[in-house]
C-alpha cells in the first residue's frame, strides 16, 4: 500500500514499470479515482519540474510519451486522465 494525493492505494499486484514513459498500475484493489489522481499528479506542473530536474531522463516522462507506443491497456483511471488531456479518443 502507498499513499499519493491523499489517497491510500492498495494493489493486489505489484506496479509494473515497462519504461519511464509507460508506467502502468494494475490490480483489482486499485480504484479508478485513485489511479486517476495519481496519474494527474504525475503529469502536473510541480511533479514535471521535479522529474526534469531530478533525473537525467526525467524530462522524457511526459503525458504525451506515456500514450506513445503503449504495449498494454491503460488502467481505467489513467485512461480517463489521458482522454481528458486530449491524448486518447
Residue 60 or 3, more confident: 60
Is 67 within 8 Å of 82 (Cβ atoms)?
Answer: yes
Domains of the chain, residue spans: 2-84
pTM higher than the cut 0.85: no
**How many whole angstroms separate alpha carbon 41 and alpha carbon 45?**
8
Task: Identify the pLDDT of residue 14.
Answer: 52
Task: Identify the pLDDT of residue 69.
Answer: 79
As a whole number, mean pLDDT of residues 22-45 equals 76
3-state DSSP helix/strand/coil % of the chain, to nearest 5: 45, 10, 45
What average pLDDT is seen over the chain?
78
Q: Give the count of alpha carbons within 13 A of 65, CB side only.
A: 15
Amino acid at each position: 500500500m502507498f499513499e499519493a494525493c491523499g489517497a491510500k492505494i492498495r494493489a493486489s499486484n505489484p506496479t509494473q514499470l515497462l519504461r519511464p514513459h509507460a508506467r502502468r498500475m494494475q490490480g483489482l484493489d486499485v480504484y479508478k479515482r485513485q489511479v486517476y489522481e495519481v496519474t494527474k499528479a504525475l503529469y502536473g506542473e510541480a511533479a514535471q519540474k521535479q522529474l526534469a530536474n531530478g533525473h537525467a531522463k526525467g524530462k522524457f516522462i511526459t503525458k504525451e510519451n506515456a500514450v506513445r507506443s503503449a504495449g498494454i491497456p491503460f488502467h481505467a483511471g489513467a485512461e480517463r486522465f489521458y482522454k481528458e488531456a486530449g491524448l486518447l479518443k
